[in-house]
Amino acid sequence: DTAVSQTPKYLVTQMGNDKSIKCEQNLGHDTMYWYKQDSKKFLKIMFSYNNKELIINETVPNRFSPKSPDKAHLNLHINSLELGDSAVYFCASSREAGGQPQHFGDGTRLSIL
Amino acid sequence: AQSVTQPDIHITVSEGASLELRCNYSYGATPYLFWYVQSPGQGLQLLLKYFSGDTLVQGIKGFEAEFKRSQSSFNLRKPSVHWSDAAEYFCAVGGRNQGGKLIFGQGTELSVKP
């Protein structure tokens, strides 16, 4: 059983479109995250949710809107996609939000044409 | 400012040789330190973590790391590298009251020569 699963694995779309990435964890964790990995492999946190409540929002453009329908799911919706949004997006989860080890999904590679 | 520096962008070692990957951090509070490994097309896998206590921590796949507070370092080591260890390695720092936020280094790509 995959612990943290993301769909889709690849997403190719045009500028201006709206797209969503879904994430689910079956670890029973309370906290979930979205990270962005750029072309130089630099990883930066975007959002963190604890028990469906937003606790970290790292000055991400408001075109990005996370939604957590329950503790096991954290989806990422992106409006009006721009070229600079091309990256690999990783979902992660941890038992709690307090320096605990984070378990990562395999990533979603988003390519904007 | 909070930051993590991995000075080596790319390292090549021969199979069977020892390995040390460097990590230096700057963090205002008590740091929690992590090493992750990323294989191509995969997510990050936790190798080991340091929260407190013994400053030499053991991880999976034969890796270990040593926390040196005086040097703000958390270097990763392995006595004998295997070809399957070729991957990207990330050092990260977090804290107890940071909402789970991890700050990552820029990564070190490890290549292994036969």
User: For residue B29, what pLDDT is reported?
Assistant: 81
CB contact under 8 A, B43 and A40: no
Tens of pLDDT, residue by residue over B79-114, are: 999 999 999 999 999 987 777 889 999 999 999 999
pLDDT above 80 for A2: no
Considering only CB atoms, B100 lies closest to which of A40, A94, A105, namely: A94
CA distances from B11 to A16, B4, B67, B106 (A): 40, 18, 21, 14
Considering only CB atoms, A107 lies closest to which of B43, B49, B104, namely: B43
User: For residue B11, what pLDDT is reported?
Assistant: 97
pLDDT above 80 for A1: no
Find chain B residues with C-beta within 8 A of A46's C-beta.
Answer: none
Q: Of B78 and B31, which is predicted with more confidence? A: B78
Q: How far is A42 from chain B (nearest CA, A)?
A: 5
Which segment of A14-23, B15-24, B91-100 scores lowest on mean pLDDT? Answer: B91-100
Instruction: Supply the mean pLDDT for chain B.
Output: 94
pLDDT above 90 for A111: yes
Find chain B residues with C-beta within 8 A of A42's C-beta.
Answer: 104, 106-107
The DSSP secondary-structure symbol of A30 reads: S
On whether any CB of chain B is under 8 Å from the CB of A55, the answer is yes
Q: Please state the rounded mean pLDDT for residues B43-58.
A: 94
Q: How far is A18 from chain B (nearest CA, A)?
A: 24
Tens of pLDDT, residue by residue over A92-102, are: 999 988 778 89
CB contact under 8 A, A41 and B107: yes
Contact A97, A55 (CB under 8 A): yes
Tens of pLDDT, residue by residue over A39-97, are: 999 999 999 999 989 998 887 899 999 999 999 999 999 999 999 999 999 999 999 88
Instruction: Name the one residue in this structure whose structure tokens are 């329908």.
Output: A69
Q: How far is B61 from chain A (nearest CA, A)?
A: 17
Q: Which two tokens stand for residue A70?
A: 């329950």
DSSP track, B18-83: -EEE--EEE-SS--EEEEEEE-TT--EEEEEEE-SS-SEEE-GGG-EEEEEGGGTEEEEEESS--G
Contact B21, B13 (CB under 8 A): no
Find chain A residues with C-beta within 8 A of B101's C-beta.
Answer: 45, 48, 56, 58
On whether any CB of chain B is under 8 Å from the CB of A89, the answer is no
pLDDT above 80 for A8: yes
